Structure 1
Amino acid sequence: MPDKYGVGEDAYCYPGSTVLRNKLDIRDETTLSEAEQQLTAIAADDVEFNPPPYDLAYLQNIHRRLFSDLYEWAGELRTVGMAKQDTRFCQPAFMAQEASKIFKRMATANWFEGMNRADLIVAVADAYSDINVIHPFREGNGRSQRILFEHLIMNAGFEISWWNIEKDEWLLANIAAYNCVLEPMEKVFKKCIGHAIV
């Protein structure tokens, strides 16, 4: 029975179900989604900002902090291939290597420090889109990645808020970026990235 990621039956789900195995033994997808939202919102307040360097391990730690109350595999890289509609994410065997390349590019760009807002928007949209294609976790990629990029953007000296972004706008920007069209993602970050922190 394929789930929203098209992985079908896998060890992450209860047998004959698309519901992810979880510590609360919730067997209903809607109830699990609500529990996820509530628990990760609480956990997000405890994720401390750290300056760079950032890497895949840093992103894994964010995921672990957000989801450890719910999933045994919180913070662990997924072991199954995944796709959403026409979007195929990086295969597990290549995730660490590909993520390393992206983080190295950001390090070479000095974590975007010293960029003006316009250049930061373009750089962040590109890096975010690349990491999204890695999609390192079975669930919770977006939430973990947004916190990573909050840290990255704040370290670069700018305010960041996701509140003005509609769910459909976010989804379409990610799909466009997967197809190498970055303008919608740049528009998203233009709304999200605020004033320079003084």
Structure 2
Amino acid sequence: MSDKYGVGQDSYCYPGWTVLCNKLDIRDDSTLNDVEQMLSAVAAATLEFSPPPYNLASLQKIHRTLFFDLYDCAGELRTVGISKQDTRFCQPDYMEKEAGKIFKGMASANWFEGMSRSDLIVAVADAYSDLNVVHPFREGNGRTQRILFEHLVMNAGFEISWWGVENDEWLYANIAAYNCVLEPLQQVFDRCIGQQIQA
């Protein structure tokens, strides 16, 4: 039996189960998912805006905050290979190097500061797609990455909200981007990125 990442039994799961080991000893995937959503939402409310520079350590800090109450591995880079359907994520040995390239690219673009809204949408979709392929954590990558990109977009001077984006739409856009079709993800960010923040 495999979990949603096609891993099945690994060191992150209870022996003989595909449920991730957790501090509350929950053995049911559905219950764990519900508790995870609730606890991470509460933890997310404690995160304050953080300006650049950003790096892999920034993602790890966010992940640790979101999932510390539930997982011992919160904030730690995964050590197993994972995939979702036909989407194969970066192998652990290459994650730091690949993430470093992406953050270096964003830094060289001055963290997208001064861009028009239309240029920002394209740049953010491209960087988000690239970083999503790294998928550095065993669980909780999407929530962690969205918070980092909230900070990135706000630092660039624009409002952002994820409300109104359905899970199926989000998944479809990310799969399309993995296959080098960025338009669906750009459309998602076009809806999520709002107006310029007035000083």
Taking structure 2 as the reference length, the TM-score comes to 0.99
Between the aligned partners of 1:136 and 1:29, the Cα distance in structure 2 is 21
Q: Map Cα deviations across residues 15-68 of structure 1 (whole Å, 9 max, x no partner).
A: 111110000000111110010010000000111111100000000000000000
Between the aligned partners of 1:180 and 1:76, the Cα distance in structure 2 is 28
Counterpart check, 1:39 vs 2:39:
yes
Between the aligned partners of 1:8 and 1:21, the Cα distance in structure 2 is 13
Per the alignment, residue 7 of structure 1 pairs with 7
Between the aligned partners of 1:5 and 1:51, the Cα distance in structure 2 is 32
Between the aligned partners of 1:182 and 1:124, the Cα distance in structure 2 is 11
Per the alignment, residue 86 of structure 2 pairs with 86
Per the alignment, residue 48 of structure 2 pairs with 48
Per the alignment, residue 65 of structure 1 pairs with 65
Per the alignment, residue 102 of structure 1 pairs with 102
Between the aligned partners of 2:171 and 2:51, the Cα distance in structure 1 is 28
Per the alignment, residue 76 of structure 2 pairs with 76
Per the alignment, residue 20 of structure 1 pairs with 20
Counterpart check, 1:127 vs 2:118:
no
Q: Map Cα deviations across residues 108-148 of structure 1 (whole Å, 9 max, x no partner).
A: 00000000000000000000000000000000000000000
Between the aligned partners of 1:144 and 1:57, the Cα distance in structure 2 is 12
Per the alignment, residue 147 of structure 1 pairs with 147
- Percent identical pairs in the alignment equals 74
Between the aligned partners of 1:109 and 1:138, the Cα distance in structure 2 is 29
Aligned-residue offset at 1:164: 1.5
Moved over 3 A (4+): none
Structure 1: which 5+ runs fail to align? none
Counterpart check, 1:193 vs 2:197:
no
Between the aligned partners of 2:66 and 2:3, the Cα distance in structure 1 is 22
SS in 1 for 2:71: coil
SS in 1 for 2:59: helix
Counterpart check, 1:138 vs 2:110:
no
Between the aligned partners of 1:106 and 1:79, the Cα distance in structure 2 is 26
Quote the RMSD (CA, aligned, Å): 0.5
Q: Map Cα deviations across residues 59-107 of structure 1 (whole Å, 9 max, x no partner).
A: 0000000000000000000000000000000000000000000000000
Taking structure 1 as the reference length, the TM-score comes to 0.99
SS in 2 for 1:186: helix
Between the aligned partners of 2:118 and 2:161, the Cα distance in structure 1 is 16
Between stretches 3-12 and 83-92, larger displacement belongs to 3-12
SS in 2 for 1:104: helix
SS in 1 for 2:131: helix
